[in-house]
Amino acid sequence: MSQPLVPDLFATCKVLTGAILWVVQQILLALGAVIPPLKDLGNWLASDPVVSAVTWLVVMTVMLLWAVLINLLTMMWVERKFYSRLQDRYGIMVSIWSLPIWPFNRKDRPTHKGWGYLQNVADGMKLLQKENLTPRGADSAMFHMAPVLIASSTLMIFVALPWSSGFVVAKPDLSLLFILAAFSIAPFGILIAGWSANNKYTLVGGMRAAAQLMAYEIPLILCVIALVFTTGSLDVYEIVAQQERTLVTLGPLAIPAWNLFGPQALGAVVFAVAMMAEMERIPFDIPEAEAELVEGWTTEYSGMRFGLLFGFKWLRMIAGAGLISILYLGGWTGPVFTVVQVAGIPVPIIPEEVWFMLRVYLLSVVFIWISWSVPRIRIDQILQLGWKRLIPLSLLAILLAAGASLVGW
């Protein structure tokens, strides 16, 4: 079984923070010879409660940078690359060559080479420079609050969503409940955004989000209830630990005991479909529906506020794919091939983080693939799908799970 690369994020960060604060303490103690109160300040800064409190901030910042700066940008890049290939586009392979500080001869720049990774950074830069408009007659406070609500609630998911058994901010006992609760805050932000912008397109989009909410949140939660019959726990570590054993061995292949293989299979499918609606990807992105509602509930946002709303959809996709892999695909478990010693510390090759991200990115590519190959469905059709198909199916999944736990499967 594989090992985490970061065994304990909090402890790692605490060592670093403690070291920095110790240096500050020494400086302040030296200065204290001249100004005595600084001595007390230095000692207070290096005390354990203060170090712990500062470490919390550092841990959250590390997770934010990891999720947003690295994974969000990579996921956007993956999506753009993927659908460009799907659609035979020429396209965004040129951005790295068009940097203003391109060091080589500008005339020799090949135009169809490069990775295009910086395209999203360039788009973000552009959005930062744009004016932030507030439409006349908009409810200004609500209008400005909605992006904050959506962005912060999306980041809140990553407080409890682990990337490995060690790489996580906090480990609450009911972490699954916390993640699902954080997930379902954003639709209220959408409703507020749609209502406050004083625009008919956003109003219709916001109302659609509110109507759609019930249709996919209920099957989502029902599937989790079905899962709890098997796991008996709402703690994601417990759920992943249960999937770590081997179910059956077929020759050289050891099939792991993932929740997907077993009575939870139906629940997994329903959960994935409902999660796709939760992420607002194309068959279900009716609150946005750019064909008839211009840009839906984000129509009136401009500049980086729009960028936040636009970009955080990918962050929600990462979180959704991560949740699916934790619940049904064994989370971060995987074989470890070898462990090398770097300065006496054992470093696993292919650690848990890599196994987890492999699942997250593969699942996301599947979602991207689906969303670029089907048209968008209508609001009444998603309500029908949710209420008449997904909810009965998730109830059936509960029945299956209950029956399976009765016979001790």
**In the complex, which residues of this chain contact another protein (CB under 8 A)?**
83, 86-89, 200-201, 204, 208, 282-283, 285-286, 289-292, 294, 372-381
**For residues 227 and 277, which CB has a smaller minimum distance to another protein in the complex?**
277
C-alpha distances in Å from residue 320, one per residue of 19, 289, 359 = 36, 21, 11
The rounded distance, in Å, linking the Cα atoms of 187 and 172 is 24
**For residues 94 and 294, which CB has a smaller minimum distance to another protein in the complex?**
294
> Least separation, in Å, of the C-beta of 147 and another protein?
22
Tokens of 345: 């510390």
Spell out the residues 6+ positions from residue 403 whose beta carbon is closer than 8 angstroms to its own. 263
> Least separation, in Å, of the C-beta of 387 and another protein?
16
**For residues 203 and 401, which CB has a smaller minimum distance to another protein in the complex?**
203
> Least separation, in Å, of the C-beta of 281 and another protein?
11
Pairing of strands 246-250, 345-348: unpaired
**For residues 87 and 338, which CB has a smaller minimum distance to another protein in the complex?**
87
- Count CB atoms within 10 A of the CB of residue 341: 8
> Least separation, in Å, of the C-beta of 88 and another protein?
5
Tokens of 145: 């609050």
**For residues 23 and 86, which CB has a smaller minimum distance to another protein in the complex?**
86
Beta bridge partner(s), residue 254: 249
> Least separation, in Å, of the C-beta of 252 and another protein?
37
> Least separation, in Å, of the C-beta of 73 and another protein?
22
> Least separation, in Å, of the C-beta of 78 and another protein?
17
Q: Is 109 exposed, middle or buried (0-12, 13-18, 19+ CB in 10 A)?
A: middle
**For residues 123 and 244, which CB has a smaller minimum distance to another protein in the complex?**
123
Residue 96 near residue 117 (C-beta atoms within 8 A): yes
**Any alpha helices (H) in 186-289, and if so which ranges?**
186-196, 200-231, 236-242, 265-278
- The residue to which tokens 């990918």 are assigned: 314
**For residues 119 and 164, which CB has a smaller minimum distance to another protein in the complex?**
119
Nearest Cα neighbor of 381 from 372, 390, 368, 371 is 390
